[in-house]
Copies of this chain bind each other. A is one copy, B any other.
Amino acid sequence: MTQNIYDDPGFFLGYSQMARSIGGLDAAPEWPALKSMLPPMQGLKVVDLGCGYGWFCRWASEQGAASLLGLDVSQKMLERARNTTRAANIRYEHADLEHIDLPANSFDLAYSSLALHYIKDLPGLFANLHAALKPGARFVFSIEHPIFMAPRNPGWIIDIKGRKRWPVDCYQMEGERVTNWLADGVVKQHRTVGTLLNLLIEAGFDIRHVNEWGPSDAEVAAQPALAEERERPMLMLVGVQR
């Protein structure tokens, strides 16, 4: 069973105050890059793994998707999603992503934003998802980058010229990483880039696109705090095809 940190009151409170929680997709700087990896939504049957507040489901519904299934382990997130992002063709369901039980051969697109780094049995999830997707279907997701997640004590260091550097260690040691982000004891699963991609390949997916998101000049101009994300890869956006 994956840790359900989103139902921790302190975590939920902190998360609910983040820009991306208030502002939705457009407040997430990686959204334009992720969106560019998606197929046209018109008529698609879509599943969202870790749907959170339902921002993506609502967007996809507005774009003409035929139906949306949003899955999340957090009851609080689902409650908020049902209250704020509902539409006739969206269904929100409680699910532990380690044990999803979806009908075979039934979705045209799977989407997941920043959820997979919490999953311990990723091979199991990929196998279940592969079976639930139609041949040719896409799976597009974002995940914390292994370089961001690997360090024992993650944090920037400042060099003598005031420039930021991101020290990496423990990269080859895969497994649990416990951080104190919004709440103490948030458990994530570190895997190397190679392992992540090989798990997808072994599950039967074709790798179509890999984007290690970084901000554009315009994004840094609009939001100078993003400049540090030019120094390291913080997120990985991956598009694969069944």
Contact = CB atoms under 8 A, between A and B. Distances in A.
A214 B163 CA distance: 29
The size class of the interface chain A forms with chain B is 35 or more
Copies in the complex: 2
Contact of A210 (B170, B194, B230, B232): B194
Chain A interface, DSSP helix/strand/loop, else mixed: mixed
Contacts of A166: 167-169
Given A147-B147, A192-B233, A171 B214 contact: yes
Interface string A224-242: 0000011111001000000
A198 interface: yes
A157 B167 CA distance: 8
Interface of A: 147, 151-152, 157, 159, 163-173, 192-194, 197-198, 201, 206-212, 214-215, 229-233, 236
